[in-house]
Structure 1
Amino acid sequence: MRTVVMGAGRSGLAAARFLAGQGREVVLTDARPDPGPDLETALAKAGVPGVWGGHPPALLDRCGELVVSPGIPRTAPFVAEALRRDIPVIGEVELAHRVLRARRDGSRVLAVTGTNGKSTTTDLTAHLLRASGLPAVACGNLGQPFLEAVEGAASGTVFVVELSSYQLESVAGFRAEAAAFLNLTPDHLARHGDLEGYRRAKLRIFERQGDGDVRVVPAAHPEWWQDAPGAGRAVRFGWTPCEAWCDAAGVLRLGEEVLLPRRELRIPGGHNVENALAAALLARHGGARVEAIREGLRSYPGLAHRIAFCGEKDGVQAYNDSKGTNVDATLTAIRALPGPLVLLLGGTDKGASYGPLREALEGKLRRLVFLGAAIPQLTRDLGDLPHDTVPAFDEAVARALAVARTGDQVLLSPACASFDQFSNFEERGERFESLVRDWAGA
């Protein structure tokens, strides 16, 4: 019997390579017409044959298991045919979990899902565990596939796995000793049908939990999680007294323990307070000491390109939110900082109105700097606000830093894609940070 891997994305390739390395008969199938020279070479080296340009039903003959990439819904004809034939359909996350648990080496799994904040909470939890001297790796939807992390990790590692609703659709025996469901807003409704279908997919993160496991959940929204499957014990985070909370004085607490004032967090905004509280609960259950959690929260710089502090000079602070490639993301960044703000906007326009930024900027705007290809649209929607128009990126950054005053924050959160002047948002953010370093060191 062979295993068919459907989808040649990063998780599919990880699964195909691993299975071939275990001596299994594997076939990789992808809808793209050809793999391209680099992928073709990599697959040949791994001994994995590929079928390109579609998914012939004949591949399911003699198929003992189908491993699907997260982007492929269970309603896809090839997947539906596998299910009709009673062929097990799993994802790379389920495969990784199976491999890990078979080792019985003392490793543990912590998992994170939700609409927003998954990546920060996942990365922060791993940071807190490492601050306590524990071997920990952040993986999953965050970047490195879970299976790749399992292959490369030592015994006793704590795996902090970010899981999307797409990935959770294809779990079966997956179990996390602690799992967090951070929040819920409408997303991926075309895939899940409606908000309830999306919520049910998220709740699968708790499905296999036992009595000794915990579910980390928002205290303010019990309706999101109270009917969750599994036997895990709920531990809550929020803004009222519970297992992890931020009090009225702005102090983060873990049970009876004081952690730190929120002003000492380097990741700004109320949403990041909630992320920090959830991460503290996960890390504590993963074995981190309270003192290490406290120091880890204080030292965590944030994920790259997500409202990341990157320099200060003469009382002016600079923040890189190059990942803010749409209006909603930029709204989050604006709300996260106290202001006054000098905000850099622009790049490749995505067609949405920039008007919603007005209300968030009210009372905290120093100046806008419009840049890049989206200048006409920005001028149309926000041109009556104080602004400068500087098309080239480097000159726009220089202008923003020059007009900022003591106490201001200079924020790159463009509300646009980067493709007019950069290959991707990472390149844009790295350029911004390089310019800020030069400014701060001058």
Structure 2
Amino acid sequence: MRISQLEGRRVALWGWGREGRAAHHAVRVRQPSLPLTLFCNEQEAADAAALGDPLLSVEIEAGAERLSAFEIVIKSPGISPYTPAAVTAAAAGTRFIGGTGLWFGEHAGDDGVAPHTFCVTGTKGKSTTTSLLAHLLRAAGKRTVLAGNIGLPMLEVLDPRPAPDEWAIELSSYQTGDVADSGARPDVAIVLNLFPEHLDWHGSEARYIEDKLKLVMDAHPRIAVLNAADPRLAALALPHSDVRWFNRDDGWHLREDDLYRGNVFVMDTRPLPLPGRHNRSNLCAVLTALEARGIDALPLAAQAQSFRPLPNRLQTMGTRDGITWVNDSISTTPHATLAALDCFAGRRIALLVGGHDRGVDWSDFAAHMRHDAPATLITMGANGPRIHALLAPVAQEAGFTLIGVETLPEAMTAARGALGGEGVVLLSPGAPSFGQYKDYVARGRHFAELAGFDPDAITAIPGLGLA
């Protein structure tokens, strides 16, 4: 769908975060006389009213009856389309679309492909992978936009000038369906891995996987780059796409920590500024995607040495009083926490886990703790008691210290006491931040501040936007 197709239609916006504001601006620029209704909370309503848009009306309650009154609702990503109100409205004929979908509709070519678009999704590592992709494209001399779920809504870069050569776009599971619904095909779609996540938004693990895979199953990218080491991805059949595989012996893959292209050794990846082996493995995804687009990837591999790691992602902030502080606030699954632990194997670790409870199963994590536990494990947040109860018998058996607290400040006090001035405090919560914090960035900033670091200095995302 293109923004021009909104003309003369009954249109509403749902949500007034950064994505909602970007949608309002984009629509208003191209449809200045289109009446709009905004559904948001009371605090956001005051902010929207301050715009002075005479054609924007604001409502607080987004019930099924009101949503059904509109032909099109432009929905912010964090609002689930599986809520009863949204399901009822959709059944009555209301079409829900996100800002990402509108962007793709605007950029579809005559053949339906949105040219020069690299879309990256996956449960773990997608932000670092997308940023690394942009870094290597720029190293190849391509003017590249880095945007999407990484922190810059697509509608904020609807029509940048000068026009970029390439687009590196991160997509969450909340946005992959928008691309499929837009009617546009990505040029290249990369799927890194699949683990259970965001079950409260999607409703079930099966639906999460289904929504994530819409990027390749329903959007029919021209080229699909898939992880051969992921069983779900390895089993896919995509007749509408040219499929390229990474983590396979005949392509880009790792042997231990060495990077290979087929049987050709390329380099040792251990010195690279890529936190965690999974991110060094995802370098293989980036190189495969570049190669699929006809870019010589082999000389670009070494350019990963100059990559700047992203904040809140296995970010070593520094050392204070003998303790190294590592901020992995973006970790929202137990699988991500296990990967973070693996990065510091052999170190004395106090691990901080827990946050918003969305019903994710921690039993696999508990099983790993029987043989790969940190010295101290501290649970916190809404799901902290549930994780603590699961781990209590494991802690007795495996011999690690288990502490339960409610808040992050309490967890950090406990971690300092447990380590006694030597070791690593690792914030890798394996759960969202909602409830105690607005988002993972706010949680990471608070962690930095409590540890004695400047929160502003750790939150900037290198290379965001057009460069």
CA-CA distance at 1:313 after TM superposition: 9.9
CA distance in 2, matches of 1:321, 1:112: 20
Which residue among 10, 21, 36 is the counterpart of 2:29? 21
Aligned partner of 1:160 among 168, 184, 205 = 168
The superposition leaves residues 151-177 of structure 1 with CA deviations (integer Å, 9 ceiling, x where unpaired) of 446313422222233323332313211
Mark the CA change 1:322 to 1:81 in structure 2 (over 3 Å): closer, same or farther: closer
Q: Work out whether residues 376 and 418 of structure 2, in 8 Å CA contact, stay in contact via their aligned partners in 1.
A: no
1:185 matched residue in structure 2? 195
Note if 1:296 corresponds to 2:303.
yes
Is the 1:369–1:387 Cα contact (8 Å) retained in structure 2? yes
Q: Is the 8 A contact 1:110 1:161 kept in 2?
A: yes
**8 Å contact from structure 2 (residues 10, 71) kept in 1:** yes
Q: 1:293 to 1:337 in 2, by over 3 A?
A: farther
Q: Alpha-carbon deviations, 1:106-135, whole Å to 9, x = none? A: 962111222332222222222222233322
SS in 1 for 2:175: helix
Tell me the amino acid that sits aligned with residue 174 of structure 1: A
Is the 2:355–2:429 contact (alpha carbons within 8 Å) kept by the matching residues of 1?
no
Alignment gaps of 5+ in structure 2: 1-7, 456-467
1:402 to 408, 421, 432: 421
Aligned residue identity for 1:430: A
Q: Residue in 1 aligned with 2:142?
A: 134
Query: In the alignment, what sits opposite 1:440?
Result: none
C-alpha separation in 2, matches of 1:305 and 1:246: 25
CA distance in 2, matches of 1:7, 1:319: 36
Aligned identity (percent) is 26
Change (3 A) 1:419 1:319: same
Query: Structure 1 residues 114, 420: CA separation in 2 closer, same or farther (over 3 Å shift)?
Result: closer
Q: Report if aligned partners of 1:136, 1:157 keep a CA contact under 8 Å in 2.
A: yes
1:340/1:364 contact within 8 Å kept: no
Match of 1:431 in 2: 449
Structure 1 189/342 Cα, relative in aligned 2: closer, same or farther at 3 Å? closer
1:385 aligns with 2:395: no
Partners of 1:75 and 1:313 in 2: how far apart? 46
CA 1:314–1:50: 2 relative to 1, 3 Å: closer
Contact 2:118 2:187 in 1 (8 A): yes
Normalization by structure 1: what TM-score?
A: 0.76
The SS at the match of 2:41 is coil
Give distance in 1, aligned partners of 2:272 and 2:132: 12
State the partner residue of 1:98: 105
Checking the alignment, whether the CA contact within 8 Å between 2:188 and 2:224 is kept in structure 1 is: yes
Q: Number of aligned pairs?
A: 424
Which of 246, 249, 254 is the matching residue for 1:241?
249
Task: Tell me if the contact between 2:80 and 2:202 (Cα under 8 Å) persists in the aligned partners.
Answer: no
CA distance in 2, matches of 1:420, 1:35: 18
Question: Aligned to 1:5, what secondary structure does the other structure show?
Answer: strand
Shift in Å at residue 214 of structure 1?
1.6
What is the alpha-carbon distance in structure 1 between the residues aligned to residue 295 and residue 421 of structure 2? Answer: 43
Letter in 2 for 1:280: L
1:347-368, Cα deviation, whole Å (9 max, x unpaired): 8796998995684484674x43
1:271 Cα shift?
Answer: 2.2
Distance apart, 1:149 and its partner CA? 2.5
SS at match of 2:250: coil
> 1:35 pairs with 39, 44, 68, which one?
44
Counterpart for residue 284 of structure 2: 277
Partner residue of 2:463?
A: none
Q: What's the C-alpha RMSD, in Å, of the aligned pairs?
A: 4.5
2:259 pairs with 252, 255, 261, which one? Answer: 252
| 1:120 maps to which of 104, 128, 144 | 128
Structure 2 equivalent of residue 411 of structure 1: 426
Whole-angstrom CA distance in 1 between matches of 2:322 and 2:273: 16
Structure 1 residue ranges without an equivalent (≥5): 438-442
Q: TM-score, normalised by structure 2?
A: 0.72
Q: Which has the higher contact order (CA 8 A, sep 6+)?
A: 2
Q: For 1:315-339, what per-residue CA distance to the aligned partner results, in whole angstroms no more than 9, with x for missing partners? A: 9965322334675543331123332
